[in-house]
Chains A and B, each alone.
Chain A
Amino acid sequence: MAILQVEHMTHYFGGLRAVHDYNLQIERGQIRGLIGPNGAGKTTIFNLLTGIHRPTEGKITLDGVNIVGLPPHQIASKGLGRTFQNLRLWRHMTVLEHVKQARYSKLGYGLMGAFFGTSRRNQEEAENEQIALDLLDLVGIRHLADHVVTNLPYGAQRKVETARALATEPKILFLDEPTAGMNPEELIEMVRIFRRVHEELGLTIFLIEHRMKVVMELCDMIQTLVFGAVIAEGTPDEIRSNPAVIDAYLGKEVET
């Protein structure tokens, strides 16, 4: 059974139809891509799926459970982790605190533990710290654990976001333009991290990306979105040779 299934999702911002009859079926362990020109509605789809907006119509099921109308934090704790296109980090917090914070829904010590510092709380905090440090190891920024995020270079901030999203223990990881603004070396490293996450943690990934090289290299299946509607869906090769996609997004090579 599909891990995430979206049926006939449509969304209006006032009179503007941002997403039209969107369907998606992600199988466990897949890496899916979503491409399309600016303003096509890619991020809107992410926001709809993660509960920031509620779709006007349509059905979203995660592992067979309907998640439409749930608040974002519940959807996130059910296993929909995400990163943001324009980094949404907490500017006064350290790297380690970021990753630990994403373990919020896994905390079991309750308010009394928080107020009175029970031994259970200390134990859970220590466990979460270990998990967070392991994740920082995974993305290769453990040495930055005690730095405040605002002082870090852009590439490192992206990695913090990735580690933070992973700390929510997602079933599917949503990546919104994870390589935007990165230089070629950082790009290669980022792709390597995603591959590693995919293989080691067996994670399903859904990704928005403008760099065709990254998309074509990583994804099993790609959707192309134009003006809120999917115009093509298929393997990288199919997408590359699809005339509608070339026309709307990829562009033709100049004939000499």
Chain B
Amino acid sequence: MGVTTRTSLRRARGIGQLRGKIGSYFSRVPLLGWLVGALTAVVLEILAGAQLASVLGLPKLPVLFGFDTVLKAPVLIPSTLLYVLLIYILPVAIVARSTATLANRLAAKLFELPMWVSALAHLILLYGILQLWCELSDYRLLLARLILIAIMITLSLNVVNGYMGEFSCSHPGFMALGAYAASVFTVSLFVNDNLFGAAILPAALGPFLFPIGLIFGGIMAAVGAVLVAVPSFRTRGDYLAIISLAFMFIVKSLIENLEVVGGPRGLSSQPNWANLPTVFVWTVLCVWTVNNFVNSTMGKALNAVRDDEIAAEAMTVNTQRTKFVAFLFAAFWAGVAGGLFAHVLRYVNPGTFGIQKLAEVLAMVYFGGLNSVLGSIVGAVGFNLLSEALRPLEIFKWIIIPLLLILTMIFRPTGLIAFRTFDVRNLLRPKGKSEEEGDHGDTTS
């Protein structure tokens, strides 16, 4: 037994060393390098993906990194793995590593410019990757947009449940308000519809006025949030959870009984304006403003309120205002996300915004990590990808996903990436000599 533990120990150490080696091999690659690598991979897939898939004997292009193929036909595991390796892993790794020096030089150049220039360059690259990846299938396009919307919802709920430390359940309600308000705005103004009659404005104006519709949706959600906030922020405790849960159900049954917007049958024929660039821009806006807010002293007041409200008051923080503003802000973004959601699916019905949606949103927040912008992004992307990848398992999916959530709660009770600041500047920093020097300094001291 002693021998086995020793060998397993040695093996564990070996794996650790290997990981360390791989880590140090790629440590000089800046974010820009990884993005270039990913771009190469998606271009490669467009050029050679279909041929490679047929050579490897795959029935069709593996849409979601091969998860769907493998889970339906386990025989195809080796060829799917090979596909993922050849199309994604190897190109990304090779390109990222081999262009590291160049990418660093470029990143350093960008770094000297104002930060927004550098951030914009990275975002454009990221958007390009996403656009090209979605080029190959409509399923990917839909999934990418839904994931981006999920990021907005998760992040806005994190402001309340993570940063402010209250427990709010009303986010599906805010989404519903936003979805319906934005839909009514666009459908009644720009579409010939049997509910609202003929279009009032020419459809050509639509895409330009669409942002107004979304903001209108967000504002309606914020108005709903006032109704929740006024009674529940007078005291601390479980009141917000209870009132907001009630609010969610009230919104749902209100819409079910409003025949003007279609009642339980829902509302359809939204114009197709929520395309990938639109959703991407709104998501970036959401992440940007939320990150700005939570990193300002005004936003950190939320943490102060959460950790000790009396101390926050004594340190001149207007706690009532802080809580109100944050709650309305979160509701606004949930409303905007709801509006986009309605225009991506081009159909909404009140049943969507029920307890199941709530469970999903809460799971994304707690899986990704409380009090963390990056955590919310990881949570939303991870949870949605997982949920889609395991879809072929049908009912077993609902055993595996909750199990993963339970494991997360056991091993990382606050979520994967909790309580971390999302430092954009640090993210865009070129990685190179300075870090090596730092390492060197550590070893000598």
Contact = CB atoms under 8 A, between A and B. Distances in A.
Interface string B301-313: 1011011101111
A125 B320 CA distance: 22
Contacts of A121: 296
B325 A111 contact: yes
B298 interface: yes
A100 interface: yes
Contacts of B288: 117
A122 to B, nearest CB: 10
Contacts of B308: 88-90
Given A73-B317, A76-B315, A168-B316, A104 B301 contact: yes
A102 B315 contact: yes
Contacts of B218: none
Given A93-B300, A111-B325, A104 B315 contact: yes
Interface in B282-329: 288-289, 292-293, 296-301, 303-304, 306-308, 310-320, 325, 329
A100 B307 contact: no
A164 B300 CA distance: 15
Contacts of A128: 297
Interface in A96-125: 97, 100-107, 109, 111, 113-117, 121, 125
Would you call the interface of chain B mostly helix, strand, loop, or mixed? Answer: helix
A165 B311 CA distance: 10
Contacts of B310: 52, 72, 84, 88
Nearest to B299: A114
Contacts of B304: 90, 93, 101
Contacts of B306: 90, 92
A76 B296 contact: no
A116 B296 contact: no
A168 B298 contact: no
A73 B316 contact: yes
Contacts of B371: 92
Interface string A48-65: 001110000000000000
**Interface size range on A against B:** 35 or more
Contact of A72 (B289, B313, B419): B313
B360 to A, nearest CB: 26
Contact of B307 (A82, A90, A104): A90
A71 interface: yes
Contact of B298 (A82, A92, A114, A116): A114
A89 B316 CA distance: 14
Contacts of A101: 297, 300-301, 304, 312, 315, 317
Contact of B318 (A73, A113, A114): A73
A100 B301 CA distance: 10
B298 to A, nearest CB: 4
Most buried by B among A101, A111, A167: A101
A125 B371 CA distance: 21
A-B pairs with lowest CB-CB distance, top 3: A88-B311, A90-B307, A105-B316
Given A52-B313, A92-B303, 12 more contacts: A72-B314, A73-B312, A73-B314, A77-B316, A90-B312, A92-B307, A93-B303, A103-B297, A103-B316, A104-B318, A125-B297, A168-B316
Interface of B: 288-289, 292-293, 296-301, 303-304, 306-308, 310-320, 325, 329, 371, 419
17 contacts: A72-B313, A72-B314, A76-B313, A76-B315, A76-B316, A77-B316, A84-B310, A90-B304, A90-B307, A92-B371, A92-B419, A93-B307, A100-B297, A101-B315, A104-B316, A105-B317, A164-B315
